Amino acid sequence: MLKVEGLHSGYGRIRALHGVDLEVRQGEIVALVGANGAGKTTLLMTICGNPRASAGKVWLAGEDITGLATHHIIRRGLAHCPEGRRIFPRMTVLENLQMGAATGDPAHFDQDLERVLELFPRLKERLHQRGGTLSGGEQQMLAIGRALMSRPKVLLLDEPSLGLAPLVVRQIFEIIAAINRDQGVTVFLVEQNAFHALKLAHRGHVMVNGRITLSGSGADLLANPEIRAHYLDGGAS
Amino acid sequence: MPAALRDSLLAGLVAAALALPMLGVRLVDSATGLSLAGRFDLVAWAAGLVFGGRLLLRLIPPLPAMPVLPAGFGNLRPAAGWAMAAFAVLLPFLPFADRNVVDKATLVLIYIMLGWGLNIVVGLAGLLDLGFVAFYAVGAYSYALLSQSFGLSFWVCLPLAGVLSASFGLLLGFPVLRLRGDYIAIVTMGLGEIVRVILQNWQELTGGPNGISGIERPSLFGLSFKAVPPEGQRSFAEFFGLDYSGDHRVIFLYFLILILALATNLFTLRIRRLPVGRAWEALREDEIACRSLGINPTTVKLSAFGIGAMFAGFAGSFFATRQGFISPESFTFMESAVILAIVVLGGMGSQIGIVLAALLLVGLPEWFRELQQYRMLAFGGAMVLIMLWKPAGLLSHREPTIRLDGQP
C-alpha cells in the first residue's frame, strides 16, 4: 500500500535519511521505533513531501507520489497525524473534525462523523468544547479522529503516546488496534515507546541514524535481546 | 508597608531623574543669547505625582476581577448586533443628529468597514498585515482616476475598484506566502510604504503630493445631490419634492457606507461557515496541522489577502467620493496602524468588538477634538489600559461556526 525505496532526505545541508527501504501492506500495522533524532519523524514528513526527498521513491497504492506537493499527496489518501497532536486549540472539537474532512466529499461527512464519534465517545461529550480545553489524551484522540475524517488509505501516526500517562497510552493503542481491526485502516506508526508499538504492530523496523537496522515481526523484535537492551529494559513499559 | 513605601520612593526618584532633563530645564532667549532656566517646581510635581500614585496603587487592594457574564449572555450577542444595526439606521433621523454628528459617524463607519476587512486577514487568517492602507489607497485612486479619465460613474467604479484592489492584494500576497508572523508584518509594512511613495512620486498619473481634486460625487440612481444638477440629470430634492439642502448628501453618504460596511460584515459572517473561512481560522491556529490535512496554504492565504484587500478597495473608493479630494497624505503608515489597532483591541476575529474599538479609537478622538494636544495622550493611554485590562481584546470570545441540533 505504502512503499518507500532508497529514500534520502534532510534539512538544508544536514542529511537525516540515508536510503530507507520500507513497505506497509494493505491492512497492516507497521511500527517504526528508534531513539530521538534517528530520523523517524523526518521519514514521515518526507513521505508527505515536506522536506522533499533528495533521492529515492515513495509509492502510495501503486502510484508514485515522490515530489508531489503535500496537499496533493494527502488528497491521494494519506492521513498524517503529526507529532505533538497539533489540534486547532481555539476551534471546537466539531470544527476540528470538520477540518479533517476538508478535502473529502461533503456527502460523507455525517457518516464519517458518526464513525469517528463511535470510536471516541469522549469526543462526542465534548463536541462543542474548544480543542484547547481538552486533556492531553483527548487531544490525541481528536488528532487521530480528525485524521480519520478524510477516509485515508494509510494513516501515519507520529508518536501518539507523546506526553501521555501510561494508562492513557494503553487506551490510545487499543483504539489504534481497533481502527486497524474493525475499519481496515492501514497504519504506519512511529514511536519511541517501543514496547507498546511492537506489541501492537504486525511488523516492525528499528531506525538508527537515518537507516533501518533491524526488521521483523513485532513479536520477534520484542524478543530480540539487542532491542530489549536498547529500548525496553529500564521500565519503558 | 515599608516595602510599599520603599517601592514608591524608588519610583518617585526615577520620575525625578527622568523629569529633570525633560521638564526641569528650559531654553530662554534673552538679549545676551540663549540661556537655561530651571523649572524645578514641575520636576517636584512630577516626582510627587508618581510617588503618590505608586503608593496608592500599592495600598489599594487589587481591583476586583471582571464580573463573569451570566451563561445566557452569549445568546445576547446577535441581539446586540441587531440593536446596533437598528441604531445605525435610525441615527440620521434622531433629534440630536445634526450634520456634524452624521459626518463623524460616517468616518467611524469607514474605519469599521476597514477593520472588518482587515479582520479577514489578521483576525481570521492570522496574517499580521501592517500595510493594509495600500489597498485602501488603491481603491481610492482607482475610483478617482477612472472617474476623471473615463468619466465612469461611482457605481461602475465601485466594483472595478474592488477588483483592482483584490488583484493588488493577490500580487502583494505572493512575497508574504513563505513568511510567518512578525516577518509578514515587516514585509507588508514595507509594501504599504512603497505604494504610498509611488503615489507621491508618479506625478503624471497621480498628481503626486498635490493629489487629485474635484472627484465626482455619487448619485442615487441618477439623482444628483448638487444644488444645480448637471445637464440631463434631476436633483434628489426636486424628485422627492424637498427643498434643497446640503444635508441630503451627507445623509446619503452615511447610508452608502453603512450598506457597504454591513455587506462586509454579512460576507464575513457567512464565509466563516464555509470551508474557505474555516480553513482561514485553522491556518491561524496551526499551519503545519493544516498541511497535514491536505489544505494548500498558498491558496488559503492568497484568498484571505485578496478578499480583505477587496473590501479595503470598496472603502477606498467611498473615501474618495466622500472627500472629493485625495492625496498620498491620507494613506500613511499611521492609518494602517490605527486599523490594526482596531482589530487587535476589538479582539481578533470579533465583529462587534471591532465596532466598539472603532468607536473608541476613531469616534472618541473626533468628539474630543477640544482636548487638542492631549487627544493623542488620551488615545495612547486608552490603548495601554485596554491591553492591561483585556489582553485578548474587548470581545475575545469566539463564536463556533457550527453546532449540531439538540446540543447546547
pLDDT tier at B124 (50, 70, 90 boundaries)? very high
In the numeric block, the cell 476575529 is attached to B349
* Cβ neighbourhood burial of B23 (10 Å; 0-12, 13-18, 19+): middle
Residue to mutate among B273, B274, B278, B292, with most A CBs inside 10 A, is B292
Minimal CA separation from A140 to chain B, in Å: 13
Do residue B294 and residue A69 have CB atoms under 8 angstroms apart? no
* Bridge-based pairing state of the strands A2-11 and A14-24: antiparallel
**Whether B275 contacts chain A with CB within 8 A:** yes
CB atoms within 10 A of CB A55: 13
Structure confidence by residue, pLDDT tens digits, A41-81: 999 999 999 889 999 999 999 999 998 999 999 999 999 99
How many degrees, rounded to 5, is the angle at CA B116 between CA B115 and CA B119?
85
Task: List residues bridging with A10 in a β-sheet.
Answer: A15
Q: Give me the percent of chain B exceeding a pLDDT of 70.
A: 93
Question: How far apart are the C-alpha atoms of A184 and B33, rounded to whole Å?
Answer: 94
pLDDT tier at A224 (50, 70, 90 boundaries)? confident
Chain A residues with beta carbon closer than 8 angstroms to that of B285: 88-91
Phi/psi region, residue B62 (left: phi>0; alpha: psi -120 to 50; beta: rest), is beta
Based on its alpha-carbon atoms, the radius of gyration of chain A, rounded to whole angstroms, reads: 17
CB atoms within 10 A of CB A12: 6
Please say whether the beta carbons of A173 and A201 come within 8 A: no
| Whole-number Cα distances in Å, A186 to A177, B245, B408 | 10, 76, 36
DSSP-assigned letter for residue A149: T
Question: How far apart are the C-alpha atoms of A88 and A139, rounded to whole Å?
Answer: 10
Domains of chain A listed by start with CATH number: 1-77+153-237 (3.40.50.300), 86-151 (no CATH)
Nearest of B357, B305, B121, B278 to residue A90 by alpha carbon = B278
CA dihedral B162, B164, B170, B173 (to 10 degrees): -90
Structure confidence by residue, pLDDT tens digits, B284-334: 999 999 999 999 999 999 999 999 999 999 999 999 999 999 999 999 998
Nearest residue, CB atoms, A100 vs list B293, B403, B404 = B293
CB atoms within 10 A of CB B271: 19
Task: List residues bridging with A220 in a β-sheet.
Answer: none
Measured in degrees and rounded to the nearest 5, phi and psi for residue B131 equal -125, 30
Mean pLDDT score, A167-191: 92
pLDDT tier at B73 (50, 70, 90 boundaries)? low
Do residue A128 and residue B408 have CB atoms under 8 angstroms apart? yes
Predicted confidence at residue B260, as pLDDT, reads 95
Question: How far apart are the C-alpha atoms of A83 and A143, rounded to whole Å?
Answer: 10
The helices-and-strands tally (H runs, E runs) of chain A is 10, 10
pTM for this model (two decimals)? 0.84
Structure confidence by residue, pLDDT tens digits, B252-282: 999 999 999 999 999 999 999 998 999 999 9
Minimal CA separation from B276 to chain A, in Å: 9
Nearest residue, CB atoms, A99 vs list B278, B296, B404 = B278
